């Protein structure tokens, strides 16, 4: 870089390696020219520019909020940090209509999917009625109801396909759909007495085995049966059944929540306090509430056939309990926010979950603002925006005022970014650490030509979505291989000269490791920039480790 030159005579057999000492300065690259001339007059050479990446990290400063009401939010940027970026995403009524459309267009027609279609179309009818639009799918609903009636098996319930043997969670979805359709004035041909007899027989038959079942599935079935009998207004000895079911130990959080809901509906004196259920909640990194088992559920093959035992179903149950308890507006908003967070990929996971989420939370969204639904909008410094996602930049000279209008929540962040050449550890949602590993053991000094792994460990304080993990590599190393990473955890990897970027659609709360395989090549002393993890769309949630130094020694 400073114009110095050196010349020497060499004898080449197959190759020649020479060391050129270099110190990185303040420039953005080092330029090196090397050439050779043979006695016979042959000449060749190259000019290379080696990029220099600054020590430090691009740091994000700002704040995040979920806007559920019309209170003004004020953000005062730091003039020293430069441009302000505002990013906002809203969950609009169109999200419900899109979800209903996804369910309606799903091509397969097992009994669960037909029931889910009925529920979705009934929700669509309620939306159309609210907005004064004509509903044109009555014939489609009637046709689905007719097929469901034809698929009722000899036990008066429903299996997965046609008239197959009973699957209780599917029967529950079908019966709920039929009852909802009757409420909307459709004829279903449902024989309530025959269905009541079948459900009661199933309840009595399952009770002896449920007490000794450690998976929670049998208790879950009893809870479903009692719930369906209540919806059918069956005249049974509810106190006796409730007492027996409540006495069975809860193997899962879903058992506990559904037992609480049963008691709330049929034996209120035994209902646990709502605060005790809130104590069982988890939070996403964006502050939304949901309910999940702290320990993994037993990984039996049967578990995969039980979509009614999931985080979503747990959270829907908790939502219904808190709604019925009353005076829980703030918590209900945070639970609805959780469902909208889960939909960022464009839809919920399957027809079953989609229909149950829509039927549970949509009526509450329609009833906000005195029963008049209004699309979400943001007013930023007097300028109104109604289309989302929204990204805008502003000069840092003055306070920015933001106000939300409408019925749906808006996820909002305002942030500034500036380079920090002496970064310290940070942990806003993530804790990050790195180490080098050789032959499975940690090492502190690397040796040229000896392969190592750079391992980044990321601990997420809460469940997080759309996470980027950046893992810088030392300048003296190249990649030994460019692997795709963990299929179950990572969505995509990008390998740059100075770092690896790993993208994850979802990171569960807990500890995760990411490995980069390196080949040290050039001896010397190098800075190792901090590794970091952040939410891509809300980078105020981030964590990083400290700046390090890394030495590469001669081969041993």
**Distance (Å, rounded) from C-alpha 536 to C-alpha 360?**
30
At 487 the pLDDT is 77
The tokens 């279609």 sit on which residue?
Answer: 117
At 297 the pLDDT is 46
Domain(s) labelled CATH 2.60.120.10 in the chain stretch across 62-90+375-415
Task: Please give the average per-residue pLDDT across 497-501, as a whole number.
Answer: 92
Omega into 389 within 30° of 0, i.e. cis?
Answer: yes
Q: What is the mean pLDDT of the chain?
A: 86
DSSP string for 143-162: HHHHHHHHT--TTSS--SST
pLDDT digits (tens, 9 = 90+) for 278-326: 999 999 888 899 998 875 444 443 444 466 678 889 999 999 999 999 8
Cβ 130 vs Cβ 96: under 8 Å: no
**Distance (Å, rounded) from C-alpha 410 to C-alpha 509?**
24
Of residues 538, 468, 548, the one with CA closest to residue 502:
468
Cβ 318 vs Cβ 259: under 8 Å: no
- On whether the 62-90+375-415 domain is CATH 2.60.120.10, my answer is yes
HSE (CB half, 13 Å, CA atoms) of 299?
2
**Distance (Å, rounded) from C-alpha 53 to C-alpha 335?**
43
Of residues 518, 523, 525, the one with CA closest to residue 555:
523
**Distance (Å, rounded) from C-alpha 251 to C-alpha 224?**
16
At 457 the pLDDT is 97
The tokens 């029931």 sit on which residue?
Answer: 115
Structure tokens at 186: 């459709």
At 376 the pLDDT is 83
Domain(s) labelled CATH 2.60.40.690 in the chain stretch across 423-553
Checking if the pLDDT of 263 tops 90, the result is yes
> Among 9-13, 73-77, 205-209, 494-498, which stretch is predicted with the lowest mean pLDDT?
9-13
Checking if the pLDDT of 150 tops 70, the result is yes
DSSP string for 439-462: TTEEESEEETT--EEEEEEEEESS
Task: Please give the average per-residue pLDDT across 367-377, as a whole number.
Answer: 67
Cβ 43 vs Cβ 36: under 8 Å: yes
DSSP string for 532-546: EEEESS-TTSEEE--
Q: How far are the Cα atoms of 96, 122, 133, 435 from residue 125, in angstroms, in the given order?
A: 12, 5, 9, 57
Checking if the pLDDT of 95 tops 90, the result is no
Checking if the pLDDT of 270 tops 90, the result is no
The pLDDT-based confidence of 513 (bands split at 50, 70, 90) is: very high
Residue 227 is classified by DSSP as H
Checking if the pLDDT of 450 tops 60, the result is yes
Structure tokens at 384: 């109104």
At 102 the pLDDT is 80
Name the CATH superfamily for 423-553: Alpha-macroglobulin, receptor-binding domain (2.60.40.690)
DSSP string for 283-297: EBTTS-EE---SSPP
- Helix, strand and coil content of the chain, in percent to the nearest 5, comes to 35, 30, 40
**Distance (Å, rounded) from C-alpha 147 to C-alpha 177?**
13
Residue 270 is classified by DSSP as G
Residue 77: how many CB atoms within 10 A of its CB? 21
Checking if the pLDDT of 372 tops 90, the result is no
Task: Please give the average per-residue pLDDT across 500-512, as a whole number.
Answer: 90
pLDDT digits (tens, 9 = 90+) for 390-440: 899 998 878 889 998 887 788 888 888 888 888 999 998 999 999 999 999
Beta-strand pair 548-553/445-447: parallel
């Amino acid at each position: 870089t400073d114009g110095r030159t050196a010349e020497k005579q060499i004898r080449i057999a197959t190759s020649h390696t020479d060391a050129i000492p270099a110190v990185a300065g303040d420039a953005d690259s080092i330029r090196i020219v090397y050439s050779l001339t043979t006695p016979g007059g042959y000449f060749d050479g190259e000019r290379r520019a080696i990029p220099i990446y600054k020590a430090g990290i691009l740091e994000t400063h700002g704040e995040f909020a979920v806007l559920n009401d019309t209170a003004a939010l004020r953000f005062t940027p730091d003039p020293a940090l430069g441009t302000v970026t505002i990013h906002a995403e809203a969950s609009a009524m169109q999200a419900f209509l899109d979800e209903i459309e996804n369910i309606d267009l799903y091509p397969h027609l097992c009994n669960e999917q037909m029931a889910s279609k009925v529920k979705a179309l009934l929700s669509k009818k309620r939306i159309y009625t609210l907005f004064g639009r004509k509903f044109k799918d009555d014939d489609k609903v009637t046709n689905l109801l007719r097929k469901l009636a034809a698929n009722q098996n000899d036990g008066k319930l429903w299996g997965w396909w046609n008239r197959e043997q009973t699957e209780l969670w599917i029967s529950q979805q079908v019966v709920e759909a039929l009852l909802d359709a009757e409420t909307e004035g459709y004829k279903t041909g449902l024989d309530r007495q025959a269905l009541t007899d079948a459900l009661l027989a199933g309840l009595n038959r399952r009770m002896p085995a449920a007490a000794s079942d450690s998976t929670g599935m049998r208790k879950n079935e009893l809870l479903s049966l009692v719930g369906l009998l209540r919806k059918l207004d069956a005249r049974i000895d509810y106190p006796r059944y409730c007492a027996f079911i409540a006495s069975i130990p809860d193997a899962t959080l879903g058992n506990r929540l559904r037992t609480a809901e049963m008691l709330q509906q049929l034996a209120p004196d035994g209902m646990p306090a709502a605060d005790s259920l809130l104590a069982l909640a988890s939070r996403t990194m964006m502050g939304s509430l949901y309910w999940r088992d702290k320990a993994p559920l037993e990984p039996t093959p049967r578990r995969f056939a039980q979509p009614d035992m999931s985080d979503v179903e747990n959270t829907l149950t908790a939502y219904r309990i808190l709604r019925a308890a009353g005076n829980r507006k703030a918590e209900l908003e945070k639970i609805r926010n959780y469902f909208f967070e889960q939909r960022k990929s464009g839809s919920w996971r399957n027809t079953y979950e989609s229909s149950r989420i829509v039927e549970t939370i949509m009526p509450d969204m329609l009833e906000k603002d005195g029963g008049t639904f209004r699309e979400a909008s943001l007013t930023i410094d007097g300028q109104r925006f109604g289309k989302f996602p929204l990204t805008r930049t502003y000069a840092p000279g003055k306070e920015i005022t933001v106000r939300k209008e409408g019925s749906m929540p808006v996820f909002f962040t305002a942030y500034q970014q500036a380079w920090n050449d002496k970064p310290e550890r940070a942990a806003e949602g993530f804790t990050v650490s790195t180490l080098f590993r050789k032959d499975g053991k940690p090492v502190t000094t690397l040796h040229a030509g000896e392969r190592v792994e750079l391992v980044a460990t990321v601990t997420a304080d809460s469940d997080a979505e759309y996470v980027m993990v950046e893992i810088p590599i030392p300048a003296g190393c190249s990649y030994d291989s460019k692997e795709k990473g963990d299929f179950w955890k990572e969505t995509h990897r990008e390998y740059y000269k100075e770092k690896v970027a790993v993208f994850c659609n979802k990171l569960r709360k807990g500890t995760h490791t990411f490995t980069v395989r390196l080949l040290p090549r050039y001896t010397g002393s190098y800075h190792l920039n901090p590794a970091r993890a952040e939410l891509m769309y809300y980078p105020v949630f981030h964590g990083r480790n400290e700046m390090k130094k890394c030495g590469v020694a001669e081969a041993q």
